Structures are given as C-alpha cells and as structure tokens.
Amino acid sequence: MTERRFRVEGALDAGARVPLSSAAGKHARVLRLAVGADVVLFDGRGAEAEAILVSTGDAPMAEVRLVRATRERWHVVLVVGVPKAAALDPLLRGATEAGASEIRLFEAERSVVHADGDRAARKLERWARIVEEAARQSERGLVPPLSLHRSLPEAIADRVMDTRLVGLDARRGSDVRLVLRPPCPASMLVLGPEGGLTDRELALLESSGAVIARAPLPVLRVETAATLLTGLAALAVDVADATPEDRQMR
C-alpha cells in the first residue's frame, strides 16, 4: 500500500471529501488508479485515514472512510552541520526513515556548503520534498519539520523542557548506547558535517548541558551516523515505553 499513500492538507474527518494535490493526482494517474481505488491519506502531523478515490483527472479527490492517529512514542530532534551535497540527500532520507521527529541543519565551522536568501529557500524546498517522500515510503504519519540555521547556538536554542542534549564525536566521549539507555522521551542529537564538530563546538555543547558521546564503531560517514544514531535514540524510547504485550512480541 506504500505506493497508494498520499499527503493531503485538508482535515481528515470521516466522510469528508479531501482534494489531492496536483503532484499526488499525477502520481495516482501514473499508478493508473481509477475511481473506487483504496488509498491511504496522511496529513504529515500524525493522522492518517483509509479512503477511496471518488474522482480522478484534473481535480482528484478522495473520500475519507476511517481516521486513525499514529502516535510515535519517541521525540528525536536531529541537528546536523550541513554536509556536502552528495551526503545530504541520503542523510535526510535515512534519518526520516529511522524516526527523526525534526531535522535541523546548521552552518557548522566545517561546513563547506552555504546557502543565502533565495538560494537557501530553494534548497530547503527541495530538501523538504526529500523528507516528505521518505516519510511516505516508510509509512510514517509524521513528516519531520526541516529547518536551516546560521549557527549551532541558534539550532539548539529552541528545545522542549527535559530534552536530553547529546553531542556526537567519533573519537571521544561516553558510549552513546549508555547515554541513551536511561529512558528519556525527548532527545536532541548533534552531529558535525564531514570532519565532525570542532573542539569549540563541542565545548559550546558541553556548556549548554550536553553529554558528549561516541558510537563504539569504525568512523562513520555523516549520513550513516545520522541514520544509525537517530534509530538508536528512537528505539531506546520505544522499547522503554512498550507495553508488556509489546515486549512479549519482541
């Protein structure tokens, strides 16, 4: 059913008729979906619905049958220094698939890619499409918000209370598995671009209350590290919050 998942902007209320975007309508035509086809709609904020196509062509529309909330137990904010272009696309896809609740990019001291003004807006629009497509393909009801920040302090400034702040370094710090083991509903993971965070950035994180941690693995590419550590943080919370029935199934 993954191919038949479409993001919509309208309210997902049972019985409502919700228009599909032009892009979604084009995709439906590529799939040769006809009136009466079963589809899944999601709003990108955690709700999804079973629906049926009631019109195609230039004004595709679906009628909502059953609405359900998709609640993720974890809240993992990934903060990453902007890497080279070749690494950023797979990073966004992998982190979204692994469960990132939000992705914040910032211009790190070692970032070599910079974007200003209209150029930044165009890049963000393209990156947001990658995130949305990854969320659709991985059947998530939530599309992680994506933002671009001028500096590390700006990127970590807005965080919810009791968020666990973790700075990742390839060679020093506590074992990240131990850092993430105590259950914490919200984590903010900070990674540098190629070459990692500088000593000054690590010191800034520590002064902001962060724990510096490392993955006891060979040195990873930034896109691999982002995906792996996001999934690890999400799983740590998911397992901690699992019901007894869930644990028996696991």
Q: How many structural domains are present in the chain?
A: 2
* pLDDT tens profile 7-24: 888 778 888 898 988 888
Whether residue 170 is found in the same domain as residue 118: yes
Give yes or no for residue 116 having a pLDDT over 80: no
Residue for token pair 């370094």: 169
* pLDDT tens profile 50-101: 899 998 888 888 988 988 877 788 899 999 999 998 999 999 999 999 999 9
Whether residue 144 is found in the same domain as residue 225: yes
Other residues' Cβ atoms within 10 Å of the Cβ of residue 8: 21
Position with higher pLDDT, 115 vs 54: 54
Alpha helices in 13-84 (DSSP H): 22-30
Whether residue 16 is found in the same domain as residue 83: no
Phi–psi pair at 65, nearest 5 degrees: -100, -60
Round to whole Å and give the CA distance between 13 and 21: 18
Whether residue 26 is found in the same domain as residue 130: no
Spatial contact of 144 and 138, defined as CB atoms under 8 Å apart:
no
Residue type, 202: L
Which residue, 14, 47, 69, sits at the end of a domain? Answer: 69
∠47-50-52 over CA atoms, to 5°?
A: 135
Confidence of residue 246 (pLDDT cuts 50, 70, 90): very low
Would the pTM count as exceeding 0.75?
yes
Show the domain range for 12. Answer: 2-69
Instruction: Give the CATH number of the domain where residue 206 resides.
Output: 3.40.1280.10
Q: What mean pLDDT is reported for the chain? A: 88
Question: Which distant-in-sequence residues (6+ apart) come within 8 Å of 77 by Cβ?
Answer: 100, 101, 102, 103, 104, 159, 163, 186, 187, 188, 189
Spatial contact of 148 and 155, defined as CB atoms under 8 Å apart:
no
pLDDT score at 240: 53
Whether residue 53 is found in the same domain as residue 169: no
Which residue, 69, 94, 122, sits at the end of a domain? Answer: 69
Instruction: Work out the average pLDDT over 134-155.
Output: 93
